[in-house]
Amino acid sequence: MSVLSELKTQSNIIYLLGRFNNKICFLCYIVGLFWFLALPHHEMSSSTYFSENALLPGLVDSEFYHDFGADSYYNELTDIMKERHMYQIPSNWLLKKFRKLGLDTYTQNYTFKYPFGVYSDKTLTGQNVYAIMRAPRTSGTEALVLSVPFGPELDGHDATYPGIALMLALAKSFRRNSYWAKDIIFLVTDNKEIGIQAWLSSYHHIPNKYIKAEVLPGRSGSIQAALNLELTSKYVGRVNVKFEGVNGRLPNLDLFNTVERLFHKEGLRIIIQKKVLEYSSSEWQRYLHSTKQMLIMMWNQASGIPTGNHGYFHKFNIDAVTIQGFKSKSRKQLDFTDVGRAFEGIFRSLNNLLERFHQSFFFYLLPSPDRYISIGVYMPPLGIMLLPIVIKISLSVCLCVCVCMCACII
357-375 pLDDT, tens per residue?
Answer: 888 899 999 999 999 999 9
DSSP string, 206-247: ---SSEEEPPPS---SEEEEEEEEEE--SSBSEEEEE---GG
Band (3; pLDDT cuts 50, 70, 90): very low
Is the pLDDT confidence value at 64 over 70?
yes
Coil, helix or strand for 318?
coil
Specify the higher pLDDT residue, 83 or 167.
167
- When the pLDDT of each residue in the chain is averaged and rounded to a whole number, the result is 87
Band (1; pLDDT cuts 50, 70, 90): very low
Specify the higher pLDDT residue, 283 or 244.
244
- Cα separation, 255 vs 245, in Å, equals 14
pTM above 0.85, yes or no: yes
What's the pLDDT score for residue 262? 93
What's the pLDDT score for residue 305? 93
What's the pLDDT score for residue 403? 66
Q: Summarize pLDDT for 133-186 with one digit per residue, the tens.
A: 999 878 889 999 999 999 876 445 578 999 999 999 999 999 998 889 999 999
Return all residues near 279 (Cβ < 8 A) that are at least 6 apart. Answer: none
Band (215; pLDDT cuts 50, 70, 90): very high
Specify the higher pLDDT residue, 18 or 31.
31
User: What Rg, from alpha-carbon coordinates, does the chain have?
Assistant: 26
Specify the higher pLDDT residue, 333 or 40.
40
Coil, helix or strand for 357?
coil
Q: Are 236 and 325 in contact, with CB atoms under 8 Å apart? A: yes
Band (344; pLDDT cuts 50, 70, 90): very high
Q: Which of 128, 115, 62 is nearest to 89 (CA)?
A: 128
Is the pLDDT confidence value at 234 over 50?
yes
Percent of residues, the chain, with pLDDT higher than 90: 56
What's the pLDDT score for residue 333? 82
Question: May I ask the CATH class of domain 49-369?
Answer: alpha beta
Q: Are 283 and 163 in contact, with CB atoms under 8 Å apart? A: no
What's the pLDDT score for residue 223? 96
Tell me what the mean pLDDT of segment 188-197 comes to. 92
Calculate the CA dihedral of residues 349, 354, 358, 360 and round it to 10 degrees: -40
What's the pLDDT score for residue 108? 96
Least confident of 104-113, 200-209, 269-278, 304-313: 269-278
Amino acid of residue 96:
K
Return all residues near 122 (Cβ < 8 A) that are at least 6 apart. Answer: 114
- Cα separation, 81 vs 85, in Å, equals 6
Coil, helix or strand for 127?
strand
Q: Given phi > 0 = left and psi -120 to 50 = alpha, else beta, which region is 267?
A: left
Residue 321 φ/ψ, nearest 5 degrees: -140, 160
Other C-beta atoms within 10 Å of 328: how many?
Answer: 16
| Per-residue burial over 50-73, b = 16 or more CB atoms within 10 Å of its CB, e = otherwise | bebeebebbeeebebeebbbbbeb
Which stretches of 190-338 are assigned E, i.e. beta strand? 211-213, 222-231, 238-242, 319-326
